[in-house]
Structure 1
Amino acid sequence: MNYYQSLGYLVLGSRLKRLSELFLSEINKSYRAEGIVFETTWFPVFYLLSENKTLTIQELCEQIEVSHPAASQLVTNLKNKGLVISTTSAEDARKQLVTLSEEGKALLERIIPVWDAITATMEEVAGASEEGSAILATLTKLETTFKSIDIVKNIQHKIHHPVKSPSNA
Protein backbone atom coordinates (compact mmCIF):
# COMPACT_ATOMS: atom_id res chain seq x y z
CA MET A 1 0.00 0.00 0.00
CA ASN A 2 1.46 3.36 -0.98
CA TYR A 3 1.24 6.58 0.98
CA TYR A 4 -1.86 7.86 -0.83
CA GLN A 5 -3.67 4.56 -0.35
CA SER A 6 -2.88 4.61 3.38
CA LEU A 7 -4.65 7.96 3.83
CA GLY A 8 -8.06 6.61 2.80
CA TYR A 9 -10.85 9.14 2.31
CA LEU A 10 -8.61 12.10 3.16
CA VAL A 11 -7.17 11.90 -0.35
CA LEU A 12 -10.10 10.42 -2.28
CA GLY A 13 -10.34 13.50 -4.50
CA SER A 14 -6.59 13.53 -5.14
CA ARG A 15 -6.58 9.85 -6.08
CA LEU A 16 -9.59 10.25 -8.38
CA LYS A 17 -7.97 13.29 -10.00
CA ARG A 18 -4.67 11.44 -10.51
CA LEU A 19 -6.50 8.45 -12.00
CA SER A 20 -8.54 10.76 -14.24
CA GLU A 21 -5.42 12.61 -15.43
CA LEU A 22 -3.66 9.31 -16.18
CA PHE A 23 -6.68 7.95 -18.05
CA LEU A 24 -7.23 11.16 -20.07
CA SER A 25 -3.52 11.35 -20.91
CA GLU A 26 -3.66 7.81 -22.31
CA ILE A 27 -6.81 8.63 -24.31
CA ASN A 28 -5.18 11.77 -25.75
CA LYS A 29 -2.14 9.67 -26.75
CA SER A 30 -4.50 7.22 -28.47
CA TYR A 31 -6.05 10.04 -30.53
CA ARG A 32 -2.60 11.36 -31.47
CA ALA A 33 -1.39 7.85 -32.39
CA GLU A 34 -4.25 7.73 -34.91
CA GLY A 35 -3.37 11.19 -36.25
CA ILE A 36 -6.56 12.66 -34.82
CA VAL A 37 -6.57 16.17 -33.39
CA PHE A 38 -9.16 15.86 -30.64
CA GLU A 39 -9.22 17.00 -27.04
CA THR A 40 -10.87 14.86 -24.38
CA THR A 41 -12.68 17.96 -23.11
CA TRP A 42 -14.63 18.01 -26.39
CA PHE A 43 -15.96 14.49 -25.85
CA PRO A 44 -19.26 15.27 -24.08
CA VAL A 45 -20.39 17.73 -26.76
CA PHE A 46 -19.27 15.50 -29.62
CA TYR A 47 -20.91 12.43 -28.14
CA LEU A 48 -24.19 14.21 -27.43
CA LEU A 49 -24.24 15.73 -30.93
CA SER A 50 -23.53 12.29 -32.41
CA GLU A 51 -26.75 11.10 -30.76
CA ASN A 52 -28.81 14.31 -31.12
CA LYS A 53 -28.21 16.19 -34.35
CA THR A 54 -28.97 19.54 -32.69
CA LEU A 55 -28.95 20.67 -29.08
CA THR A 56 -29.37 24.00 -27.35
CA ILE A 57 -26.62 25.22 -25.08
CA GLN A 58 -29.06 24.81 -22.17
CA GLU A 59 -29.62 21.16 -23.12
CA LEU A 60 -25.86 20.66 -23.24
CA CYS A 61 -25.58 22.20 -19.75
CA GLU A 62 -28.19 19.85 -18.37
CA GLN A 63 -26.76 16.75 -20.02
CA ILE A 64 -23.11 17.28 -19.11
CA GLU A 65 -23.91 18.99 -15.80
CA VAL A 66 -21.87 22.15 -16.27
CA SER A 67 -22.74 25.81 -15.95
CA HIS A 68 -24.10 27.78 -18.90
CA PRO A 69 -20.86 29.83 -19.17
CA ALA A 70 -18.77 26.61 -19.21
CA ALA A 71 -20.92 25.08 -21.97
CA SER A 72 -20.86 28.35 -23.94
CA GLN A 73 -17.08 28.50 -23.66
CA LEU A 74 -16.74 24.91 -24.88
CA VAL A 75 -19.08 25.57 -27.81
CA THR A 76 -17.19 28.77 -28.68
CA ASN A 77 -13.91 26.85 -28.64
CA LEU A 78 -15.39 24.21 -30.96
CA LYS A 79 -16.81 26.93 -33.24
CA ASN A 80 -13.38 28.56 -33.45
CA LYS A 81 -11.96 25.19 -34.53
CA GLY A 82 -14.68 24.91 -37.19
CA LEU A 83 -16.14 21.76 -35.62
CA VAL A 84 -19.60 23.02 -34.65
CA ILE A 85 -22.05 25.60 -35.92
CA SER A 86 -24.45 27.51 -33.72
CA THR A 87 -27.57 29.21 -34.98
CA THR A 88 -30.35 31.14 -33.32
CA SER A 89 -33.56 29.21 -32.76
CA ALA A 90 -36.45 30.31 -34.99
CA GLU A 91 -38.89 29.72 -32.09
CA ASP A 92 -36.88 31.48 -29.39
CA ALA A 93 -34.18 33.98 -30.30
CA ARG A 94 -32.58 33.52 -26.85
CA LYS A 95 -31.69 29.90 -27.67
CA GLN A 96 -28.57 28.91 -29.57
CA LEU A 97 -28.82 25.63 -31.49
CA VAL A 98 -25.56 23.70 -31.79
CA THR A 99 -24.80 21.17 -34.53
CA LEU A 100 -21.67 19.53 -35.87
CA SER A 101 -20.21 21.26 -38.92
CA GLU A 102 -19.18 19.19 -41.95
CA GLU A 103 -15.64 19.20 -40.56
CA GLY A 104 -17.00 18.11 -37.18
CA LYS A 105 -18.96 15.25 -38.79
CA ALA A 106 -15.84 14.10 -40.64
CA LEU A 107 -13.88 14.17 -37.39
CA LEU A 108 -16.64 12.24 -35.65
CA GLU A 109 -16.38 9.46 -38.25
CA ARG A 110 -12.67 9.12 -37.45
CA ILE A 111 -13.26 9.22 -33.70
CA ILE A 112 -16.00 6.59 -33.41
CA PRO A 113 -13.59 3.65 -33.94
CA VAL A 114 -11.33 5.11 -31.22
CA TRP A 115 -14.31 5.33 -28.84
CA ASP A 116 -15.20 1.72 -29.62
CA ALA A 117 -11.60 0.64 -28.94
CA ILE A 118 -11.52 2.64 -25.68
CA THR A 119 -14.71 0.94 -24.52
CA ALA A 120 -13.42 -2.53 -25.43
CA THR A 121 -10.05 -1.91 -23.78
CA MET A 122 -11.55 -0.57 -20.57
CA GLU A 123 -13.99 -3.49 -20.40
CA GLU A 124 -10.99 -5.82 -20.65
CA VAL A 125 -8.88 -3.88 -18.15
CA ALA A 126 -11.44 -2.75 -15.58
CA GLY A 127 -14.03 -5.42 -16.22
CA ALA A 128 -11.58 -8.30 -15.78
CA SER A 129 -12.33 -8.56 -12.06
CA GLU A 130 -15.42 -8.36 -9.92
CA GLU A 131 -14.15 -5.14 -8.31
CA GLY A 132 -13.33 -3.63 -11.69
CA SER A 133 -16.76 -4.48 -13.02
CA ALA A 134 -18.35 -2.67 -10.08
CA ILE A 135 -16.39 0.55 -10.49
CA LEU A 136 -18.89 2.36 -12.74
CA ALA A 137 -21.80 1.47 -10.47
CA THR A 138 -19.79 2.58 -7.45
CA LEU A 139 -18.88 5.90 -9.08
CA THR A 140 -22.53 6.50 -9.97
CA LYS A 141 -23.55 5.76 -6.40
CA LEU A 142 -20.90 8.15 -5.04
CA GLU A 143 -21.93 10.92 -7.47
CA THR A 144 -25.57 10.52 -6.48
CA THR A 145 -24.73 10.53 -2.78
CA PHE A 146 -22.43 13.56 -3.08
CA LYS A 147 -25.20 15.48 -4.84
CA SER A 148 -27.81 14.55 -2.25
CA ILE A 149 -25.99 15.57 0.92
CA ASP A 150 -24.29 18.70 2.10
CA ILE A 151 -20.76 17.43 2.70
CA VAL A 152 -19.51 20.75 4.10
CA LYS A 153 -22.39 20.87 6.58
CA ASN A 154 -21.67 17.30 7.66
CA ILE A 155 -17.98 18.02 8.14
CA GLN A 156 -18.74 21.20 10.10
CA HIS A 157 -21.19 19.30 12.31
CA LYS A 158 -18.56 16.65 13.09
CA ILE A 159 -15.98 19.33 13.89
CA HIS A 160 -18.27 21.16 16.30
CA HIS A 161 -20.18 18.15 17.67
CA PRO A 162 -17.68 15.32 17.82
CA VAL A 163 -19.00 11.91 18.81
CA LYS A 164 -17.41 10.83 22.07
CA SER A 165 -16.14 7.29 21.87
CA PRO A 166 -15.53 5.22 25.02
CA SER A 167 -11.77 5.57 24.47
CA ASN A 168 -11.79 9.40 24.55
CA ALA A 169 -14.66 9.98 26.97
Structure 2
Amino acid sequence: MNLYKRLGYLVLGSRLRRISESFLSEINRAYQQEGIEFEASWFPVFYLLSQHNTLSIKELSEQIEISHPAASQLITNLKQKSLLTTTTNAKDGRKQQVTFTDKGRELLTRIKPVWEAVDTSMNEMMNSELGCKELLPAITALESALQTYPLANRISRNISKQSNLARHE
Protein backbone atom coordinates (compact mmCIF):
# COMPACT_ATOMS: atom_id res chain seq x y z
CA MET A 1 0.00 0.00 0.00
CA ASN A 2 1.17 3.54 -0.76
CA LEU A 3 2.86 5.17 2.25
CA TYR A 4 0.75 8.31 1.88
CA LYS A 5 -2.51 6.37 1.86
CA ARG A 6 -1.42 4.15 4.76
CA LEU A 7 -0.47 7.08 7.03
CA GLY A 8 -3.69 9.00 6.40
CA TYR A 9 -3.95 12.33 8.20
CA LEU A 10 -0.36 12.14 9.47
CA VAL A 11 0.82 13.09 5.98
CA LEU A 12 -2.14 15.14 4.76
CA GLY A 13 -0.04 18.30 4.45
CA SER A 14 2.59 16.42 2.45
CA ARG A 15 -0.05 14.97 0.12
CA LEU A 16 -1.69 18.35 -0.40
CA ARG A 17 1.70 19.96 -1.11
CA ARG A 18 2.58 17.16 -3.54
CA ILE A 19 -0.76 17.55 -5.35
CA SER A 20 -0.36 21.34 -5.40
CA GLU A 21 3.16 21.16 -6.81
CA SER A 22 2.05 18.66 -9.46
CA PHE A 23 -0.99 20.78 -10.37
CA LEU A 24 1.04 24.00 -10.66
CA SER A 25 3.70 22.21 -12.69
CA GLU A 26 1.05 21.00 -15.14
CA ILE A 27 -0.48 24.47 -15.41
CA ASN A 28 2.96 25.99 -16.05
CA ARG A 29 3.59 23.33 -18.69
CA ALA A 30 0.31 24.26 -20.40
CA TYR A 31 1.43 27.91 -20.58
CA GLN A 32 4.79 26.81 -22.00
CA GLN A 33 3.10 24.62 -24.60
CA GLU A 34 1.13 27.67 -25.71
CA GLY A 35 4.34 29.71 -25.92
CA ILE A 36 3.26 31.99 -23.08
CA GLU A 37 5.74 33.17 -20.45
CA PHE A 38 3.52 33.07 -17.41
CA GLU A 39 3.77 31.33 -14.05
CA ALA A 40 0.77 29.87 -12.25
CA SER A 41 1.87 31.63 -9.05
CA TRP A 42 1.10 34.96 -10.75
CA PHE A 43 -2.52 33.98 -11.38
CA PRO A 44 -4.15 35.56 -8.28
CA VAL A 45 -2.60 38.98 -8.98
CA PHE A 46 -3.46 38.88 -12.68
CA TYR A 47 -6.99 37.71 -11.98
CA LEU A 48 -7.69 40.35 -9.34
CA LEU A 49 -6.26 43.13 -11.49
CA SER A 50 -8.29 41.89 -14.47
CA GLN A 51 -11.38 42.37 -12.29
CA HIS A 52 -10.46 45.65 -10.54
CA ASN A 53 -7.91 47.34 -12.85
CA THR A 54 -6.03 48.80 -9.87
CA LEU A 55 -5.57 47.64 -6.28
CA SER A 56 -3.26 48.52 -3.46
CA ILE A 57 -0.65 45.99 -2.37
CA LYS A 58 -2.55 45.71 0.93
CA GLU A 59 -5.81 44.94 -0.89
CA LEU A 60 -4.05 42.33 -3.02
CA SER A 61 -2.44 40.68 0.01
CA GLU A 62 -5.77 40.58 1.86
CA GLN A 63 -7.68 39.11 -1.08
CA ILE A 64 -4.98 36.57 -1.92
CA GLU A 65 -4.60 35.84 1.81
CA ILE A 66 -0.82 36.17 1.89
CA SER A 67 1.36 38.45 4.00
CA HIS A 68 1.98 42.02 2.89
CA PRO A 69 5.74 41.32 2.47
CA ALA A 70 4.98 38.26 0.30
CA ALA A 71 2.61 40.33 -1.84
CA SER A 72 5.20 43.10 -2.13
CA GLN A 73 7.81 40.58 -3.23
CA LEU A 74 5.47 39.13 -5.87
CA ILE A 75 4.60 42.62 -7.15
CA THR A 76 8.30 43.56 -7.27
CA ASN A 77 9.00 40.43 -9.31
CA LEU A 78 6.21 41.28 -11.76
CA LYS A 79 7.41 44.90 -11.96
CA GLN A 80 10.91 43.66 -12.86
CA LYS A 81 9.34 41.73 -15.73
CA SER A 82 7.60 44.98 -16.82
CA LEU A 83 4.17 43.42 -16.33
CA LEU A 84 2.97 45.68 -13.52
CA THR A 85 3.59 49.20 -12.35
CA THR A 86 2.97 50.87 -9.03
CA THR A 87 2.08 54.44 -8.23
CA THR A 88 1.67 56.24 -4.94
CA ASN A 89 -1.93 56.62 -3.84
CA ALA A 90 -2.97 60.29 -4.15
CA LYS A 91 -4.93 60.25 -0.87
CA ASP A 92 -2.48 58.15 1.17
CA GLY A 93 1.18 58.39 0.22
CA ARG A 94 1.97 55.19 2.13
CA LYS A 95 -0.16 53.08 -0.23
CA GLN A 96 1.11 51.73 -3.53
CA GLN A 97 -1.48 51.21 -6.25
CA VAL A 98 -0.77 48.31 -8.61
CA THR A 99 -1.85 48.29 -12.26
CA PHE A 100 -0.94 46.46 -15.45
CA THR A 101 1.59 47.86 -17.86
CA ASP A 102 0.81 47.60 -21.59
CA LYS A 103 2.94 44.44 -21.65
CA GLY A 104 0.93 43.06 -18.70
CA ARG A 105 -2.39 43.81 -20.42
CA GLU A 106 -1.16 42.10 -23.58
CA LEU A 107 -0.14 39.05 -21.56
CA LEU A 108 -3.55 39.07 -19.85
CA THR A 109 -5.32 38.78 -23.21
CA ARG A 110 -3.09 35.82 -24.11
CA ILE A 111 -3.62 33.95 -20.85
CA LYS A 112 -7.40 34.33 -20.49
CA PRO A 113 -8.09 31.50 -22.99
CA VAL A 114 -5.75 29.28 -20.96
CA TRP A 115 -7.75 30.09 -17.81
CA GLU A 116 -10.95 29.07 -19.59
CA ALA A 117 -9.32 25.84 -20.78
CA VAL A 118 -8.03 25.09 -17.27
CA ASP A 119 -11.51 25.59 -15.82
CA THR A 120 -13.11 23.39 -18.49
CA SER A 121 -10.44 20.71 -18.14
CA MET A 122 -10.69 20.62 -14.35
CA ASN A 123 -14.48 20.38 -14.50
CA GLU A 124 -14.20 17.50 -17.00
CA MET A 125 -11.71 15.69 -14.78
CA MET A 126 -13.64 16.25 -11.56
CA ASN A 127 -16.91 15.13 -13.12
CA SER A 128 -15.37 12.00 -14.65
CA GLU A 129 -13.62 10.69 -11.52
CA LEU A 130 -15.66 9.12 -8.77
CA GLY A 131 -15.19 11.02 -5.49
CA CYS A 132 -13.74 14.17 -7.06
CA LYS A 133 -17.00 16.12 -7.22
CA GLU A 134 -16.83 16.90 -3.50
CA LEU A 135 -13.20 18.08 -3.54
CA LEU A 136 -13.81 21.84 -3.52
CA PRO A 137 -16.56 21.71 -0.86
CA ALA A 138 -14.32 19.44 1.25
CA ILE A 139 -11.37 21.83 0.94
CA THR A 140 -13.62 24.75 1.90
CA ALA A 141 -14.89 22.84 4.93
CA LEU A 142 -11.32 21.95 5.98
CA GLU A 143 -10.20 25.58 5.64
CA SER A 144 -13.15 26.68 7.75
CA ALA A 145 -12.45 24.05 10.42
CA LEU A 146 -8.78 25.08 10.60
CA GLN A 147 -9.74 28.75 10.97
CA THR A 148 -12.38 28.04 13.61
CA TYR A 149 -10.14 25.92 15.82
CA PRO A 150 -6.50 25.71 14.71
CA LEU A 151 -4.98 22.25 14.36
CA ALA A 152 -2.14 23.04 16.79
CA ASN A 153 -4.74 23.77 19.48
CA ARG A 154 -6.52 20.48 18.76
CA ILE A 155 -3.23 18.59 18.95
CA SER A 156 -2.32 20.21 22.30
CA ARG A 157 -5.76 19.37 23.69
CA ASN A 158 -5.38 15.73 22.64
CA ILE A 159 -1.86 15.48 24.08
CA SER A 160 -3.25 16.79 27.38
CA LYS A 161 -6.07 14.23 27.27
CA GLN A 162 -3.58 11.42 26.60
CA SER A 163 -1.35 12.60 29.44
CA ASN A 164 -4.31 12.72 31.83
CA LEU A 165 -5.41 9.23 30.82
CA ALA A 166 -1.87 7.87 31.28
CA ARG A 167 -1.63 9.37 34.78
CA HIS A 168 -4.94 7.79 35.82
CA GLU A 169 -3.94 4.30 34.65
**TM-score bracket, shorter-length normalisation:** over 0.9
> What corresponds to 1:62 in structure 2?
62
Q: Which residue of 1 aligns with 2:158?
A: 158
Residue 126 of structure 1 corresponds to: 126
Give the drift of 1:128.
2.2
72-81 or 143-152: bigger deviation? 143-152
* Coordinate RMSD, CA, aligned: 1.5
Aligned mates of 1:130, 1:147 — CA distance in 2: 28
Whole-angstrom CA distance in 1 between matches of 2:131 and 2:91: 49
The residue type equivalent to 1:109 in the other structure is: T
- Give, as a single letter, the amino acid of the residue that structure 1 aligns with 2:126: A
1:102 pairs with 2:97 = no
Normalization by structure 2: what TM-score? Answer: 0.93
What is the alpha-carbon distance in structure 1 between the residues aligned to residue 106 and residue 29 of structure 2? 20
TM-score (norm 1): 0.93
CA–CA distance in structure 2, aligned partners of residues 121 and 15 of structure 1? 22
Deviation at 1:150, TM superposition (A): 2.4
Moved over 6 A (4+): none
Name the residue aligned to 2:135.
135
CA distance in 1, matches of 2:46, 2:72: 14
The separation in 2 between residues aligned to 1:147 and 1:82, in whole angstroms, is 37
Unpaired runs of 5+ in structure 1? none
Equivalent residue runs for 1:143-154 within 5 Å? 143-154=143-154
The Cα of 1:38 is off from its aligned counterpart by: 0.6
Alpha-carbon offset, residue 8 of structure 1: 0.7
* Paired letter, 1:64: I
1:48 corresponds to 2:48: yes
Matches within 5 A, 1:9-28: 9-28=9-28
In 2, distance between residues paired with 1:14 and 1:150? 18
SS in 1 for 2:97: strand
Distance 1:129 1:42 in 2: 28
In structure 2, the partner of 1:37 is 37
SS at match of 1:35: coil
Can you give the 5+ residue segments of structure 2 that lack an aligned partner in the other structure?
Answer: none
Are residues 1:82 and 2:82 paired?
Answer: yes
Instruction: Give the secondary-structure state (helix, strand or coil) at the position aligned to 1:127.
Output: helix
Alpha-carbon separation, structure 2, partners of 1:27 and 1:73: 22
- Structure with greater helix share of residues: 2
> What letter corresponds to residue 47 of structure 1 in structure 2?
Y
- Which secondary structure state, in structure 2, belongs to the residue aligned with residue 92 of structure 1? coil
